[in-house]
Amino acid sequence: MAQELPIVFPWPGQEALGQDLISRLGWEAGHAELRRFPDGESYVRILSEVKGKTVIICASLDSPDEKLAPLLWLAATARELGATKIVLVAPYLAYLRQDARFQEGEGVTSRYFAALMSRHFDALLTVDPHLHRYRSLDEVYSIPARAMSAAPEIAAWVRGEVERPVFLGPDQESDQWVSRVAELAGAPYAVAEKRRLGDRQVELALPDVEAWRGFTPVLVDDIISTAGTMLETLGQLKAKGWPPAVCIGVHAIFAGKAYQDLSVAGPRAIVTCNTIPHPSNRIDLGESLSQALKEML
Ligand code: R5P
């Protein structure tokens, strides 16, 4: 008997990347009805046949709390209807930043979230997860969890668009992304030192980049959330007489009016990957994500 093709369910509102995976891989498109009852509970109905198939749910987990219940019910429904394997493709994976108990009494939510996902899914694929105190996803996820990197695509974009770039990472943990991108782009890099003072406020000490005067600063971070980190770095560069920097984030969270605030600060460009749909998406990860998914299965 011919093996069933995997079936991909793109998350509502994020259809573009899911549909792209479907057409690149020639897999089946899954259809489901997800909505809220008037009382706020989630309604889930799978409209495609999933029995005997590998089900892939492609959902970026920005605003995770809103998505969590319908995501788990969708996975549970697929399992009950006979799916053989359920894979979560979360181009942006949430709940990794609370990776320690920073203050007495806090919940280490990265662990709880990972445990929950590991119970409902059989495998996970994501892009540049925020790994700081964890060295790999395996420290918290008990299912096969693969992290792919957007570094090759970011480096290619910079090579095509920016002359004489010097890369800057805002903090120690950004070293893992910035060093890779810089190496692939054949350009210098340095990382700053950051101390978070609150949800929106950071204190930052720029590294010495005087040797690269005349270069174009390119800030690279995994997540742009409140944009506080980018704004502080931009401001300090400006105060030192550097030209406007290019701001690159892998994941375009842009909480509240963060995108507006960052645009007003006058960077040369704000560029993100298409892990979360946003007007700043310039870097397409469809090809590498589909390759990684194919390899994973
Ligand atoms: C955390 O350390 C991350 O790598 C980012 O630097 C951080 O999430 C950015 O957040 P925000 O845009 O709120 O400064």
Q: Which of 176, 221, 259 most suits a substitution to test ligand 1, by most atoms within 8 Å of the C-beta? A: 221
CB of 221 closer than 6 angstroms to any ligand 1 atom: yes
Q: With a 6 A CB cut-off, is 62 part of the ligand 1 pocket?
A: no
Name residues whose C-beta falls within 8 Å of residue 143's C-beta, 6 or more positions apart in sequence.
117, 118, 121, 122, 123, 124
Task: Give the C-alpha separation, 59 to 71, whole Å.
Answer: 8
- CB-neighbour burial class of residue 166 (10 A; exposed 0-12, middle 13-18, buried 19+): buried
Question: DSSP class of residue 89?
Answer: E
- Residue 294 and residue 144 in contact, taking contact as beta carbons nearer than 8 Å: no
Residues 101-159 have pLDDT tens digits of 999 999 999 999 999 999 999 999 999 999 999 999 999 999 999 999 999 999 999 99
Q: Indicate the Cα dihedral angle 209, 211, 214, 215, nearest 10°.
A: -60
Model pLDDT for residues 148-206, shown as the tens digit of each residue: 999 999 999 999 999 999 999 999 889 989 999 999 999 999 999 999 888 888 899 99
**Starting at the edge strand that comes first in sequence, how are the strands of the sheet with 189-191 ordered?**
189-191, 165-169, 216-224, 246-252, 269-273, 281-283
Residues 121 and 87: beta-carbon distance below 8 Å: yes
Confidence band (pLDDT; 50, 70, 90) for 2?
A: low
Query: How many angstroms is it from 117 CA to the middle of ligand 1?
Result: 23
Report pLDDT for 120. 98
Residue 19 near residue 289 (C-beta atoms within 8 A): no
pLDDT given for residue 200 in this prediction: 86
Given a cut of 60, whether residue 1 has pLDDT beyond it is no
Global confidence as pTM: 0.95
